[in-house]
Structure formats: structure tokens, C-alpha cells
Amino acid sequence: MGSDIHISLPAESIFSIGPLHITNSIIMMLLVMAGLVIFYAVALRKHALVPGGAQNLAEVIVEYVLGLVEGAAGRRIGRRIFPLVATLFIFIITANYAGLLPLVGTVGFNNEHGEFVPFLRSPNADLNMTIAMALIAVIIVQISGVMAHGVGGYLKELLTPIPLAPIHIIGEFSRLISLSARLFGNIFGGEVLVTVMYHLTFVVIPVIFISLELLFGYIQAMIFSMLTMSYIILAVAGHGGDHEEHEEHGAAALVADETGAHM
């Protein structure tokens, strides 16, 4: 590791395949995805009536998220949006926790400028990654609205009343910024904080901050997935003022309950 602390806002390129630059966050993302696929393949390879070990852990995670989704969206809608919400939650929390592993951010090389470049970087500490997930969420929200109301019906919901139409449209775009920037800012800031603590203090101090990052990693996964769910519910239900306010308060209350109000 280099002796100086080097903080890079964008993910650093490790190698290139033609015009495609493979960054340390992409490598970490692929490792996280491979780890999840292998874990669930092994856990669910043999279904036991009384689960144990990996199968028990896999089922606990899935049942936990399913309970949250059905509790907020109801059984009918909840079952339909569960695959998306569960995928977002499980990937985000796994990526957040994987970013705290000892080799992440600490093993690398010095580039031509003498700056330390780690081989691995938390996927969610890369704004490109969080924007990509936010784009998926926002696009699915719009598709859900069209499927529920039809193209004409959804446009009517979005554009009426006319004086509020620009606010509704800006609100849809603001979700992209809100989802991506919140997750990126929290994970990147936590990664920088832990790195600095490793350089400046004894081991016990970084361990304290890592414990906090475990909590914040869970909270950010919960917020991203639950907000995505609430946006879909609103798109399906319509943009009615009272109903929208009720759903947003309900989603906010759910997140607060599950995270101990540590948002």
C-alpha cells in the first residue's frame, strides 16, 4: 500500500479490454454477483423440509424482505414487485458489506503518478453503479404506471392538474438523483472515513467505525429498496394527493421502524 492517502472520487481503471475500461468497482461488482449466485445455488441445491445452514440463512433473508414488501404493498402487488425489491436489497447490502472486507481498498499498486490504486472498491462507492440501479428502478416505476393505467391514463395522472404537471415531471426525474446520490454519498463517505482511520489510528478505532458502517450499509440498502417499492405503489395507485401522501408516510414509517429511525 502507498504511504500517502489518495482519495479518488471516480472509480480507478485497473485494465482495459479494447475501449472498455475495467475499474476496481466493476471487478468488485462481478465478485459480489458471483458470490450471491454461488451462495444461493449451494443453499437451494437440496431443499430440506427443515432447513439448516445455508438454506436456512437464504430463506430467512427472502422471508424477511417478503414480509416487508407484503406488509407495505399488500399480497397481490407485493408478490409482483418482490423480485425487484429483494434483488436490490440483497445486492446492495452484500456490496456494502463486501466493501468493508480487509483486502478491499487496501491492496493495489501505484500508478504512473505515484498514486495508490486499490484492486477492489465497493461497487456502491462508484456513482456509475448507483445511477445504473436508480435508472432501473425509475424505468420500472414508469412501466408499472403504464401497465396499471394504460399509456393515456398514466399520462393523464402525470400531467393533471396542468399547473402541477411540471412539478410531477420534475419529481419523477428527481427520484433518479435522490436514489443514486444518497447511496453513493453514504457508502463513499464511509469508505473514505474507514480508510483514513486505518492510516491515522490504532486498529481498535477503525473497528468502531466499521461497526457503524455495518449499520449504515443495512440502512442504505433498506432505504433504496423500500423507496423503490413506494414509488411503484404510487405509480400503480395514481398521483392522487391524499393517497400519495398516505403511501409516502407509510413507506417512510416502515423504513424508520426497520432502521430504528437512523436514516
- Nearest of 83, 96, 129 to residue 228 by alpha carbon: 83
Give yes or no for a contact between 67 and 47, defined as CB atoms under 8 angstroms apart.
no
d(CA 175, CA 230): 11
Q: Is the pLDDT of residue 139 over 60?
A: yes
Neighbouring C-beta atoms of residue 82, cutoff 10 Å = 18
Domain residue ranges of the chain, discontinuous segments joined by +? 13-259
pLDDT tier at 203, thresholds 50, 70, 90: low
The pLDDT tens digits of the residues spanning 56-106 come to 889 899 999 999 999 888 888 889 999 999 999 999 999 999 988 888 877
In this structure, the dihedral spanned by the alpha carbons of residues 68, 132, 13 and 31, taken in order and rounded to 10 degrees, is: 40
| Higher-pLDDT residue of 85, 55 | 85
Q: Is the pLDDT of residue 248 over 50?
A: no
Give yes or no for a contact between 5 and 106, defined as CB atoms under 8 angstroms apart.
no
Q: Region 5-11: what's the mean pLDDT?
A: 78
d(CA 105, CA 101): 9
This prediction has a pTM of 0.84
Give percent above pLDDT 90 in the chain: 41
- Nearest of 222, 224, 185, 192 to residue 209 by alpha carbon: 192
Q: Region 22-38: what's the mean pLDDT?
A: 95
Q: What is the pLDDT of residue 246?
A: 43
d(CA 259, CA 248): 17
- Residue 245 grid cell: 401522501
The pLDDT tens digits of the residues spanning 162-194 come to 777 788 788 888 999 999 999 999 999 988 887
Residue 20: strand pairing partners: 17
Q: In this structure, what DSSP letter does residue 44 have?
A: T
Query: Which amino acid belongs to residue 238?
Result: G
User: What is the separation of C-alpha 127 from the centre of its chain, rounded to a whole number of angstroms?
Assistant: 11
Ranked by mean pLDDT, which of 91-95, 109-113, 194-198, 203-207 comes out on top?
Answer: 91-95
- Mean pLDDT, the chain, whole residue set: 83
Give yes or no for a contact between 11 and 122, defined as CB atoms under 8 angstroms apart.
no
